[in-house]
Structure 1
Amino acid sequence: MSLDPSIITIDTGFQRADFDAAYLVIQNGRAAFIDCGTGLAVPAMLAALADAGLAPDAVDWLLLTHVHLDHAGGAGLLLPQLPNATVVVHPRGAPHLIDPTRLIAGATAVYGEAEIARSYGRIEAVPADRLRIADDGHRIDLAGRALLCMHTPGHALHHFCVWDARSQSWFTGDTFGLSYRELDSARGAFIVPTSSPVQFDPEPLKASIRRMLQMQPQTMYLTHYGPVQDVQRLGADLLEQIDAMAQIGRQCHERADRHRCLLAALTALYLERAQAHGCALDDDAVTQVLAMDIELNAQGLACWLDRSTR
């Protein structure tokens, strides 16, 4: 299947090439951004507009799937460059855009101050009068093209995904996992769930994935990274892995070395699946590609375990 030419993938440059995507959707000379990366990505976002022959005032919408900094950290810096744009966000995410203090503190607790400064740059507030709250099923009109915001908890409580009926596609944020092109094989894309801190919950995440699959999508536009097809196979892979990850969490939970146990078991799970998928990279290279995600998934599982046993 071919991809819709009105959807442009933007590499935000976060961490490395082909790791963190935002999207530009164009309809009748008007545009919407879906996610925007960090503050360091503002030049790339504006360059994508220029490359498409559009001025910044052509952007009507900035839809944020959730407010984690690799998806939305640059919103406060990008918005002043887009005079006609309205930010669309889940009700739970809006307060963190208006006052990002807690968001910054939470990310700093996970990554550390030095990493926040190096990778995320400045984080500015979004004016409340430029926000629109997207309840479940909220419809955005992009020059006659409907974009539907559907709440998809599991990765985060404040997550929505965006359904584009024209292309029969979802913009998935982190709900539909991670798929890096280095791990593609003759079978197609290789996919891994993401359970990064602090609100991972396996059952709601599976329900969200099933809800998305019911739309019979042609393409999933992932933040990490890019469009993938063969969607039903990938969805089944995700559902299997979420169950396996939850079981790993339960097995490691009571151990004194819980974090080390989680890291080792998650690494083994992903390597086994990568080998079965026919990934060309050896085990060390696969582990290197997934190293950050394995660490974050271990932390996400730990948060879920602690929350569920309180």
Structure 2
Amino acid sequence: MSPANQTSHNHHNFILTGLPGMPEKDFLMAFPLFLLYGTTLLGNITILVIIKIEQSLHEPMYYFLAMLAATDLSLSLSSMPTMISVHWFNRRTVTFDACITQMFFIHTFGGVESGVLVAMAFDRFVAICFPLHYATILTHGVIGKIGIAVLLRSVCAVLPVPFLIKRLPFCHSNVLSHAYCLHQDAMRLACADTRINSIYGLLAVIFIIVFDALILLLSYFLILRAVLGIASQEERFKALNTCLSHIFAVMLFYVPLIGMTLIHRFGKHLSPIVHSIMANVYLLLPPVLNPIVYSIRTKQIKKRIVQIFCRSKIGS
């Protein structure tokens, strides 16, 4: 008897899924997944350490970058235990409370990442539109308050989710669609009316993701208008160049998110493998590629990494 059948009426556990319909090929994902997580940890920890030890990087732009790296690190650590457990050790059972806890942290740090990207857009807006007042507007105190506000907003928005899931009865299948726990995935398994969960989930998405996307669009509209007002073409290019890394980070977050949303809404006829891959891309891609993008695009960080690499090579 399969594990899913053995625990289909056990309301204290959920069964996680690797690649739907392809359990015999899960080992093919184990090593790449381990490599992705290793790259994520190394890249984001390197960014944090370099920003801490390099005095020239003690500026608002890099403080926000440190927030992004810390968020990516936290998001990865939230999903890592169960994904490694499923794909590496083939352990698919997770307790109900552990699932709810993981769900809370994944959704919370997803919201924090969206908020940090908005904060970074505000940083670029002030730097380009009000360069003479940049240091006086974005003081250490203001940056700290922005970071706390972003975290508290996401925590408050996601905090009701565990309680909304906890109240639901699960008397049917307890097999989830992914190797980690998401609110919408667990909600569909409930054998009760889930309209309150659906409405609250939609409101939370509008409050965080949609609202942040509108602010990002407005910020870059104002930035572009300010840049076009610069007489020198060289200065225009220089101003826009400072935004490229952030634009890449925004695309890495929102493009997979939009793709996953569209597939979830309009792609119900598609293979479950497609849904699983898109969800994994949304969760894994930004934390892996953000530190790589900023390491390549930021001269100070790239220079420091090269120095560390050269020293270790000389020492060996």
Q: TM-score, normalised by structure 1?
A: 0.28
Structure that is richer in strand per residue: 1
Higher relative contact order (CA 8 A, sep 6+): 2
Larger Rg: 2
Q: TM-score, normalised by structure 2?
A: 0.28
Structure that is richer in helix per residue: 2
